[in-house]
């Protein structure tokens, strides 16, 4: 991973969490395809519907970080907590 991509991963995904660092980054497999019209497109099998494209491989990598972050940051309705339960947010 280039230092530019590692820098992007560290800063765009950390969301201010002081416990997040490169050694704890989540690893996700992606499937990269060459597009018939040129360039590349990729899909993330572990995240249904998460896909992106790029004119160059570097563009594709940049777009992949944004696509995965966007797919994982989808807000859902607030969880209903009863009794002594509590809501936690973790970084993976």
pLDDT digits (tens, 9 = 90+) for 25-43: 778 899 999 999 999 999 9
Write the pLDDT tens digit of every residue in 39-68. Answer: 999 999 999 999 999 999 999 999 999 999
Residue 17 pLDDT exceeds 50 = no
Write the pLDDT tens digit of every residue in 69-90. Answer: 899 887 667 777 888 888 777 7
Q: Helices 57-72 and 3-13 sit at what angle, rounded to 10 degrees?
A: 20
The dihedral through the CA atoms of 51, 52, 58, 61 has a sign that is negative
Distance CA 39, CA 22 (A): 28
Q: How much is the pLDDT for 4? A: 44
Tokens read off for 25: 């980054």
Distance CA 12, CA 67 (A): 12
Residue 19 pLDDT exceeds 80 = no
Q: How much is the pLDDT for 90? A: 73
Distance CA 33, CA 91 (A): 29
Distance CA 65, CA 25 (A): 12
């Amino acid at each position: 991973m280039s230092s530019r991509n590692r820098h992007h991963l560290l800063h765009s995904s950390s969301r201010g969490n002081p416990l997040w660092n490169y050694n704890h980054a989540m690893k996700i497999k992606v499937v990269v395809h060459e597009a018939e019209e040129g360039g590349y497109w990729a899909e993330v099998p572990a995240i249904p519907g998460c896909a992106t494209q790029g004119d160059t491989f570097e563009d594709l990598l940049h777009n992949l970080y944004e696509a995965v972050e966007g797919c994982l940051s989808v807000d859902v309705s607030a969880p209903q907590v009863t009794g002594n339960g509590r809501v936690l947010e973790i970084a993976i």
